[in-house]
Structure 1
Amino acid sequence: MSTERSAWLGQGLTLLAEQGAPAVTLERLCERMGMSKGAFYHHFGSMPKYRTQLLDHFETSCTTEIINGVEASDALPARERLDRVLAEATKSASPSLEVAMRAWAQQDPEAARIQERVDATRIGYLRHLCEQAGRDRPDQMAKLLYLMLIGAEHLMPPLPTSELHDMYELLMPLLGRPAS
């Protein structure tokens, strides 16, 4: 993906996080980018195509890249990869983006499909790590870890990243011992 194309998509995620999906308009994007509508159309062709690519960019940058980064160190035991993915999720978390994405998903079927897939991927990966770590009830444990992240993002104001990380540290020993 070209640097300029990435910049348009990054600016779209920023607008989404700051003002919600209705604010992601051609005019606002061009204004923020300091570029013409022609430059936008050169890269994306139309706003519907841009929105589709923006949703894909959200999924890639906020889920796939994090998981791939953790899996790049697959020599680590599952428990350490679980610690690492939780640390990465809390470090790179953008509560306003996640909340805005969920609000968009309530209004738009395409956004809803992406959000469902993102949630399923994230929970599935957590479940996989919990299973590999030999934990009891990996399905429930994965959902509990994920729900904690979602809940922290919806607090007003959002739970600070450092506090969320501390809460994960507190929760991990309580998740049960490895299955025998």
Structure 2
Amino acid sequence: MSRVVTKEQYFDTALATLAELGFKGLNIGLLCRRLGVTSGSFYHHFGSWQSFVDALLEHWENRQVRILRTLNFNQGNPDDDIRAMSDLAAGLHHAAEAAIRAWAANDESVSLAIKRVDESRRRTVHKSIKGVVGDDNTAAVVTSLGMAMLIGYQQIAPNEDVPLERLLTEYARLIYSHARH
């Protein structure tokens, strides 16, 4: 009897594989072995490698959008938004995102997906920070610092001596140091 797996199981396995082995380690054979299925299962669901990549990116991108929506940003309390922003950053699958960023340097479709996700995050973070600081220019600079911190953390996380929670605490202090009075 053959095992039946869902597209979501392929996506979850792919993200775990990306986190563990990077984008160069992700391939049809490994996915199928890890899921205990034949390549026929893969081709039944996706038809081709590029169709799988497109579906994986859409799944990942949609997950990021859902996460932003469920955190209910911009509901009137800037302090809640800053906490939600930290929760969002802490809850990301950093190793998988680092692998996706490396993959983006080698694949235009991945690059476009990461740009869309980053822009969505940037808009959300900017609105949250602007709610505290008031000034659009300052909010833009502090937002850019936050994005750089998050992306940089994802690149060095396995060797990082300072936990992300500490970085996020310091980032919140930076935001509040610019608070309008």
Same fold (TM over 0.5): yes
Counterpart for residue 7 of structure 2: 5
1:101 shift after superposition: 0.9
TM-score, normalised relative to structure 1: 0.85
Partner of 1:59: 61
Write out per-residue CA displacement over residues 113-132 of structure 1, whole angstroms, 9 at most, x where no aligned residue.
11111111111111122233
Residue 82 of structure 1, CA deviation: 2.5
Residue type at the aligned position of 1:17: A
Distance 2:159 2:134 in 1: 33
Task: Mark the CA change 1:80 to 1:87 in structure 2 (over 3 Å): closer, same or farther.
Answer: same
Equivalent residue for 2:41? 39
Partner of 2:81: 81
Q: How many residues align?
A: 173
1:33-88 residue CA offsets vs partner (Å, 9 max, x unmatched): 00111221221111110001111122222x212211112x7645133122212222
Which of 163, 167, 170 is the aligned partner of 2:166?
163
Q: Which runs of 5+ in 2 are unaligned?
A: none
Which residue number in structure 2 is paired with residue 147 of structure 1? 148
Aligned partners of 2:173 and 2:85: how far apart in 1? 16
Q: CA RMSD in A?
A: 2.1
Deviates more, 1:135-144 or 1:164-173: 164-173
What do the CA deviations read for 1:99-158 (whole angstroms, capped 9, x no partner)?
111110001111111111111111111112223345322211211122111122222514
Once structures 1 and 2 are overlaid, which stretch shifts more, 141-150 or 25-34? 141-150
Aligned to 1:95: 94
Does the 8 Å CA contact 1:135/1:177 hold for their aligned counterparts?
yes
Between the aligned residues of both structures, percent identity stands at: 25
